[in-house]
Structure 1
């Protein structure tokens, strides 16, 4: 994705931002993943700074940014507030409340873990009947595709067993709670004071409240926790405890297939997810 600096933006885009941001003292350009063409903090005369992201051209990235802008009051106090969203020529520009915070630390023993759990629980307590259900998004069968296209990944795993678990996952993850579906350390901003904020709401959905904590279990394993310890954290601190053994195992197998199939960009996560699914499959139900 092409990256633009402030001086490289088309003049109509710059003018639209000046009109919405107000008097600009300086522009602090920042690197934000691969899903935005432009990202910067606008420091303003006599007003709080704003964080602005922009995407050029119709694309999945534009849809993800529009999802963030449209969540609005649903995630008030959890996500940075949206100040404006504007379609200018072939650009989508969204201005957010600027949160001056560091990324969360999820390693074993981190003092952030308790506050992260509180944030995950706040998300799960929100009902989101207007969002697309996760069960509708999770209709693909990943393990049969992997067996056909990348048999070395499947190895000696029982493809029939994996497929059977995978087919259960959509129905078992159904619910009416708000889901972020991509929580990890970089998605939590920890300010010096005040509540942690969850950012990058490009893939929201509705589903069972235990699903985001289940994603967090995999992320904790990736940050150095043993699988049993990660599950203990989720069980004692989040609504993961509402899930049955069957539901969590189906989830683990589905995510392992999904991330393995998309391993071109998530190679390490795919291995973590497969290891966790294997650990779940060896546990008595």
Structure 2
């Protein structure tokens, strides 16, 4: 019996995190040591993201507020990601709208990351014109400051990241007509599967000299009280085309009825961009999202990860199908 098709994902309610009080005492001590002041009070853990690792804001005895991420071995994905995020944040060029790196380190088998606290909300519930403009401006600032990518930040390329066995397996099944679409996936996929697979393969040639976030979703953005957007969760950074991050946000905007064609037409990020390359990126992400939809979430991740994956598959397919006349 197939699982029911998930509704749109509320990215504000996707994690299952421990509270500050339940963390080991040595983690509490490590946060105070790294911050330079003991923790006086902790807010409730955030409910965004897809893991069971700790993430939340704390107030220090000296009056400052910091955002704490902490992961033990029960959330192995996050444990490794925190070290990568610290490395990236320490090397990002000035001017990129990213949180301040306050400190990071290990405490026994836990990894701890301290960031400057950002007082903001997640966009996209639903997307408003002001939130779209804020996200667009953040992507423009990122592209300006991150092009060319600094030589001091050793990261891979988007093309390398997309050379993924899961993507290849799903693309092959689509090309051969053996892929079984789950409930809720558009029916035209059965007829257009070979074309989708072919377009997705073109993503192997995606190149660019810009830093790209690589995982820009609504829950990796915060819009502050002044209306500016900040990009968070920096553990998938690679080099690629400057238009790539904004393109990753467009399908969900279009899913909610926004005119993303008008945004693309006026955005400097798409000046000179090859529409076929944009379609190749949309296609390969759609194929990636179609992969392993029925598999259990990775260790330490919540079931909402697969719900997100299902929604992203539908949204990317819808935008790509419209652009190519498939739907």
Q: Say yes or no: TM over 0.5.
A: yes
| Residue 138 of structure 1: aligned partner | 162
8 Å CA contact 1:67, 1:204 repeated in 2:
no
Distance 2:127 2:26 in 1: 48
TM-score (structure 2 length as normaliser): 0.77
Distance 1:192 1:59 in 2: 34
8 Å CA contact 1:99, 1:191 repeated in 2:
yes
SS in structure 2 at match of 1:93:
strand
Please state if 1:160 is matched with 2:203: no
| Residue 241 of structure 1: aligned partner | 271
- Distance change (3 Å), C-alpha of 1:46 and 1:193: farther
Distance 2:102 2:50 in 1: 23
Match of 2:32 among 18, 21, 25: 18
Return 5+ residue gaps in structure 2 as ranges: 1-14, 295-305
8 Å CA contact 2:20, 2:45 repeated in 1:
no
Q: CA RMSD in A?
A: 2.5
TM-score (structure 1 length as normaliser): 0.87
| Residue 55 of structure 2: aligned partner | 39
* 1:1-285 equivalence runs, <5 A: 3-21=17-35, 22-31=37-46, 32-57=48-73, 59-71=76-88, 72-74=90-92, 76=94, 77-105=96-124, 107=126, 110-125=129-144, 126=146, 127-128=148-149, 130-140=154-164, 141=168, 142-145=170-173, 147-150=177-180, 155-171=189-205, 173-193=206-226, 195-225=228-258, 229-264=259-294, 265=306, 266-282=309-325
- Distance change (3 Å), C-alpha of 1:138 and 1:20: same
Aligned length: 279
Deviations 1:164-183 (A, max 9, x none): 21211120x21121111222
Return 5+ residue gaps in structure 1 as ranges: none
SS in structure 2 at match of 1:47:
coil
SS in structure 2 at match of 1:34:
coil
Distance 1:195 1:111 in 2: 9
